[in-house]
A and B are shown apart, each in its own frame.
Chain A
Amino acid sequence: DAGVIQSPRHEVTEMGQEVTLRCKPISGHNSLFWYRQTMMRGLELLIYFNNNVPIDDSGMPEDRFSAKMPNASFSTLKIQPSEPRDSAVYFCASRPDSAWNSPLHFGNGTRLTVT
């Protein structure tokens, strides 16, 4: 079991540029979550998918953020255009199903720095 795989591990970009973060969930997991972590706001849920369908995107900060899950083994989180306040660690997590007693498996995150 390779775990949840995120890429890149680090991303440094200039304000205004497009940023794409990638996630490969654990095989067989059909729920996927994107979180953002900052010192000030802690862990914030951005969006989650069940069976590749977005269920709740109420945590997406604004229209500059978008997420897709074209198939069960891949998801992207895109920021366009990026701003310095988007600097954070972005985590992807997956779990076997949508059951409430199912724990999340996290990737090691992408540290995004927007200058």
Chain B
Amino acid sequence: SQQGEEDPQALSIQEGENATMNCSYKTSINNLQWYRQNSGRGLVHLILIRSNEREKHSGRLRVTLDTSKKSSSLLITASRAADTASYFCATDGKGAQKLVFGQGTRLTINP
């Protein structure tokens, strides 16, 4: 089964609003990564947060990690139509080199 599970499966908001997506995972990790996928394209890496970090920022992105709850959240502030995409979290099990992806959240930003 997948290591990471995103919630919600789909999210539709108005441009300018903030979008929050959540990810839960099952085993201990070294890091957690978030990726974006535009329709018909490959995934693009957004941000990585290490297991000893609790929060990380990159532009309009904010990621939090709670290892005690085995969960992470991705916040996109001041959303734009161009943010419309699917967002995936990915985790590595400690000692593992491979990344396992969740099912993703489909985000739609309405103009």
A and B part of one assembly: yes
Which B residues touch A78, using CB under 8 A? Answer: none
Partner of B48, one of A98, A103, A106: A103
**Interface contact B45-A104, CB-CB below 8 Å:** yes
Partner of A100, one of B31, B44, B101: B31
Chain B window 24-56, contacts with chain A (Cβ cutoff 8 Å), 1 for yes, 0 for no: 000000110101000011111100101000000
Chain A window 18-36, contacts with chain B (Cβ cutoff 8 Å), 1 for yes, 0 for no: 0000000000000101010
Given the known A-B contacts A45-B98, A48-B97, are A91 and B42 also in contact in the complex, defined by CB atoms under 8 Å? yes
The interface residues of chain B, by DSSP majority, are classed as strand
Interfacial residues, chain B to chain A (CB-CB below 8 A): 2, 30-31, 33, 35, 40-45, 48, 50, 88, 90, 92, 96-104
**Interface contact B2-A42, CB-CB below 8 Å:** yes
A50 proximal to B (CB < 8 A): yes
Offer 5 A-B interface pairs, CB within 8 angstroms, sorted by A: A43-B88, A56-B98, A100-B31, A105-B45, A107-B42
